[in-house]
Structure 1
């Protein structure tokens, strides 16, 4: 929804305003996002905001809300700030698909109201929980009813379809989109394909044919869009556009990777270091802690397939779920979406977090600053020993990061040296890690956290609930 708001002096922006969009720029001010509209785009922006399509999309939550600040200094749109924004390189395949489907659906709906998307990139989408939201209002423009070409077609192919297809065909991580702001070019992908792949149904049309045409110096004229350039018949033009969007939707679905598993995606079903009774005891203790302290937002680090993320939502919390295993993160997102739970999945590795990227490292922020202080409670269940043994992160460094991330509390599971999983991950490095004890964790917490409660489970693992020190 949008409305006029009183003019007020903006607070100091926290990051450099965006500069790529010729119609406006974006800056961040405390708990809001301010979009400054350039004078040439003022009238068209206001017309779009007053359109029935915009109202309906905002009411559904598919399009970001916007308050109009029409001050003497220029038109500004005030958007609510999403606490923890994520980028496409931190999404699972099903998140990519959800973002693609929303993009195509909004474009198709906009056409029936006289509007169209002039660009189509995953960077136009942010997730609120499991739900994608289109956040770039300036991506819409008035549609010429006689035009049958979707100008954003090529960009959609490069930034949505081809990354998904390469993830399916060659297992290229979707995280590689970090280095490909405008997506993949068919010619470069063609070189990576075998001949059977090049001639396969899913690859031939989006990769092989454009690569051949480019070799023949015909790409610019023939590969940008399969439809005809301009039609006098507006009904035919609309039909061609709708057919193009429907075809892209089908091809995007076919580009989704085949279902795959991993040891960590099956972790909850195959774990042997917990009996059913011990797992239930752990779950009930965590449930009681959540019920007592009632965090509004929880950061679940090493969330796996989301058992404890879902548990946190039962007590009214929103959850940011961080998981580095691709298959586990995919299942986590699909679970949260199927059950309509307020869980936002981030596929990323805490030990190798997403860096800041873009011009002067200021266009897309790093993961840790986005997470810091945003959640009342940080969960690290069955995580800390992985950081110590697999990533060689010292305990004081882990505690220091937990202190930066948590706004109020930290719930951590300590795994003792005698634990079978600890022994397996230690890999004989007894001289380095064989003497670590829970007391080392408490020493590192001195001055940063205060222990509120502690529970030893029957298998020797220890659950500790800390409160962040104010000094």
Structure 2
């Protein structure tokens, strides 16, 4: 009996084709209706040029895989796998900015080859080997002179509006992307932005006036996008230039938060800090390396300690810490680390159509190894999460866990308990072990030099 292969739950909106998995390998079916555009994408040299620059994900055409829908199928391609799929609401300011600028650079190059991006979704960009890359090979369409950029409104909602809000109002407003999965509405962005942004030509044009145009003209696609019905190629290039300069002009400096300067105020001596790094690396090596998730990674000090043992996703709740982490990654041209914003007490959930379009953190796992260093007191004391519950959640995320227990006698825990009643009688090393052995086997434990802390290597009992 033939095995039924269905499209991925996130790949259903585009009639040009869809993603699917066969024997654990990712493929994309290109439908017959997209044949002429795909052939032009290849024959024009645009595909090769974009791949050479690292702006579009590499792929190979295959003929040894049966298409899920043979009646519609023109071709099957096998794209290069991305280690971890992330979403715009998990990115730092500079990550979103780099993704925006890449989208505009691709559109410019496409226009030179007689093509255009038919959409400008931030979800079409992923961070791969340290850089943003377009992963949707079917994002292109034929360009004809006089045609406006259909993706203009989407670009403004997915990129420009959140960047402006993050830069001019509050960095945390990027989380609106979790609510508005199709991009932040421009009328909302216009209302939230301070009045003086109307003096910025780019923001005035692409957000404020654009939002007004949407309200006034809502009948046709051309007027809804805020453009005239006919736009010359030169005019379209001028629009892209204007968007580029507007995005480049938006800045945000990561400073002043508690966690962005965390390592400057740690109670470790330099030698103890180095000893902890060695111990963490030892435990990750014993677990075999692989796909590593560092929870509460701050600016990525310990993430970088283990990048030679696998690919590391470096999560933290603080946008400033993640921004610093990403800037360090770019400066050093690191390829094995991905900094992301994550509130572990409210992690990214399954959202979008039928709650299946964007995956929760757990559904993007499991990781081979989860690191949880100097984290447990924030979860279990600051947020009242029971030890057993934390253990169960960590078990759902990874096969092995490297976790640091921080006792009440530690100065950082004392700070937390200064302003609240101690209602945590089980928060002891004995209570920790009793709770965690229900989900994990303790493979190793060692004291962290120069502190009262203990580092554990745990193996999930379900793996």
TM range (shorter): 0.7 to 0.9
CA pair 351-42 structure 1, distance change in 2 beyond 3 A:
same
Could you tell me how far 1:222 is from its partner in structure 2? 6.7
Matches within 5 A, 1:373-388: 373=366, 375-388=367-380
Contact 1:295 1:377 in 2 (8 A): yes
Q: When the two structures are superposed, what TM-score results if normalisation uses the length of structure 2?
A: 0.88
CA pair 218-444 structure 1, distance change in 2 beyond 3 A:
closer
Does 1:24 pair with 2:17? yes
Could you tell me how far 1:129 is from its partner in structure 2? 4.2
Contact 2:401 2:459 in 1 (8 A): yes
Which residue in the other structure is 1:401 paired with? 393
- Distance in 2 (alpha carbons) for counterparts of 1:188 and 1:260: 27
- Distance in 2 (alpha carbons) for counterparts of 1:222 and 1:143: 19
Matches within 5 A, 1:197-236: 197-201=197-201, 203-213=203-213, 224=225, 229-231=230-232
Could you tell me how far 1:32 is from its partner in structure 2? 2.7
Q: When the two structures are superposed, what TM-score results if normalisation uses the length of structure 1?
A: 0.86
Contact 1:102 1:132 in 2 (8 A): yes
Could you tell me how far 1:14 is from its partner in structure 2? 8.1
Could you tell me how far 1:438 is from its partner in structure 2? 1.1
Which residue in the other structure is 1:263 paired with? 258
CA pair 289-193 structure 1, distance change in 2 beyond 3 A:
closer
Which residue in the other structure is 1:121 paired with? 121
Does 1:250 pair with 2:245? yes
- Distance in 2 (alpha carbons) for counterparts of 1:154 and 1:10: 41
Could you tell me how far 1:289 is from its partner in structure 2? 3.2
> Which stretch shows the higher mean deviation, 113-122 or 444-453?
444-453
- Distance in 1 (alpha carbons) for counterparts of 2:255 and 2:124: 28
- Distance in 2 (alpha carbons) for counterparts of 1:290 and 1:298: 9
Contact 1:11 1:29 in 2 (8 A): no
Does 1:41 pair with 2:34? yes
Could you tell me how far 1:193 is from its partner in structure 2? 4.2
CA pair 24-266 structure 1, distance change in 2 beyond 3 A:
same
- Distance in 2 (alpha carbons) for counterparts of 1:444 and 1:300: 21
Contact 1:320 1:346 in 2 (8 A): yes
Could you tell me how far 1:123 is from its partner in structure 2? 1.3
Does 1:106 pair with 2:106? yes
- Distance in 2 (alpha carbons) for counterparts of 1:244 and 1:329: 31
Counterpart secondary structure, 1:177: helix
Counterpart secondary structure, 1:432: coil
Which residue in the other structure is 1:137 paired with? 137
Contact 1:326 1:347 in 2 (8 A): yes
- Distance in 2 (alpha carbons) for counterparts of 1:212 and 1:116: 26
Q: RMSD value over aligned CA atoms?
A: 2.8
Contact 2:375 2:404 in 1 (8 A): yes
> Which stretch shows the higher mean deviation, 387-396 or 104-113?
104-113
Matches within 5 A, 1:292-303: 292-303=286-297
- Distance in 2 (alpha carbons) for counterparts of 1:277 and 1:29: 49
Which residue in the other structure is 2:155 paired with? 156
CA pair 260-206 structure 1, distance change in 2 beyond 3 A:
farther
Which residue in the other structure is 1:449 paired with? 440
Could you tell me how far 1:449 is from its partner in structure 2? 2.6
Contact 1:150 1:225 in 2 (8 A): no
Counterpart secondary structure, 1:191: helix
Which residue in the other structure is 1:343 paired with? 337
5+ residue gaps, structure 1: 1-8, 232-236
Counterpart secondary structure, 1:399: helix
Does 1:170 pair with 2:155? no
Does 1:357 pair with 2:351? yes
CA pair 99-14 structure 1, distance change in 2 beyond 3 A:
same
Could you tell me how far 1:214 is from its partner in structure 2? 5.4
Does 1:414 pair with 2:413? no
Could you tell me how far 1:249 is from its partner in structure 2? 1.1
Contact 1:11 1:30 in 2 (8 A): no
CA pair 49-426 structure 1, distance change in 2 beyond 3 A:
farther
Counterpart secondary structure, 2:343: coil
What are the Cα deviations for residues 381-437 of structure 1, in whole angstroms up to 9, with x where unaligned?
100111101121111122222222223x32111111111211221346555214521
Counterpart secondary structure, 2:404: strand
Contact 1:213 1:219 in 2 (8 A): no
Counterpart secondary structure, 1:137: coil
Counterpart secondary structure, 1:42: helix
- Distance in 2 (alpha carbons) for counterparts of 1:194 and 1:378: 41
Could you tell me how far 1:325 is from its partner in structure 2? 0.8
CA pair 30-416 structure 1, distance change in 2 beyond 3 A:
farther
Could you tell me how far 1:94 is from its partner in structure 2? 0.8
5+ residue gaps, structure 2: none
CA pair 157-405 structure 1, distance change in 2 beyond 3 A:
same
CA pair 164-451 structure 1, distance change in 2 beyond 3 A:
same
Counterpart secondary structure, 2:306: helix
Could you tell me how far 1:11 is from its partner in structure 2? 6.7
What are the Cα deviations for residues 287-345 of structure 1, in whole angstroms up to 9, with x where unaligned?
333455551221111010010111111x3421011111111111111111221221112
